[in-house]
Structure 1
């Protein structure tokens, strides 16, 4: 049984005072489709740990996928889904900057490299 995990990390710096609104939109609008693409939300972390009214918060969402196969399946489904691009376009008014990265536990790298 292959129990490797791939992590997808969305890091979003919100526009000042918009973090709570972004998190609500992300959970209500983005997360359901992500779950359909095989992603499991591990956590959302807000930094600093207070809703800022006049400054930006950084929101970090960590998703988990089942190994390389799960990552590829999610990637291809997301790339061909115009709803994903539309959601991010609609959310742009809440976002100052965003990035996405992927990673894995160091002990899983050898197994993940054999796809």
Structure 2
């Protein structure tokens, strides 16, 4: 029996995904007869009150998002994510970070190529939570040891910080 998973690459997965996407484009493009209800606000934002025109205003979201993106060495995606959640997650949560999501691309574990693992964290605000997180991890020997071990397991690593557009006004008013 041939293990098809071990022979697929990221490029091959995308080609198969593109073909499947074209086949299901009709349903995805709204050809369904059902009317969808309006989507819920993203990222936990909540509708507040309606203005005179009946439009709901969105509550300002004052969160900072920390996005960790890793490309583990080929074949190590699942093990890497498991170790990340077992080792790093408790340190991050102890430092005040809240796990928002973890995603993997392509959406299957690759044996001969690298997955991309992305983990999104939220911090309540930059004034308190961000600096508390930074000092709680930076001087923690377990965190330093974890970072050193990660360098040996990944092809690339990136940490980015994001905020909602509404929060930018607060962040830029320094």
Whether TM-score is above 0.5 comes out as yes
Match of 2:67 in 1: 9
Select which of 122, 134, 138 maps to 1:64.
122
Please list, as runs of the form range in 1=range in 2, the aligned pairs for 1:73-84 lying within 5 A after superposition: 73-84=132-143
Q: Hey, what's the Cα distance between the residues in 2 that align with 1:54 and 1:87?
A: 25
Match of 2:160 in 1: 101
Shift of 1:3: 5.2
Select which of 40, 57, 68 maps to 2:98.
40
Tell me: CA distance 1:101–1:33, structure 2 relative to 1, closer, same or farther (3 Å).
same
**Pair 1:50-2:84 in alignment:** no
Q: After the TM superposition, which segments of 4 or more aligned residues of structure 1 sit over 3 Å from their partners?
A: none
Q: Hey, what's the Cα distance between the residues in 2 that align with 1:70 and 1:41?
A: 14
RMSD between aligned residues: 1.5
Q: What SS does the corresponding residue of 1:55 show, helix, strand or coil?
A: coil
The structure richer in strand per residue is 1
TM-score w.r.t. length of structure 2: 0.62
Gaps of 5+ in 1: none
Q: Hey, what's the Cα distance between the residues in 1 that align with 2:173 and 2:90?
A: 30
- Assess if the C-alpha contact under 8 Å between 1:3 and 1:66 holds in 2: no
Gaps of 5+ in 2: 1-59
Higher relative contact order (CA 8 A, sep 6+): 1
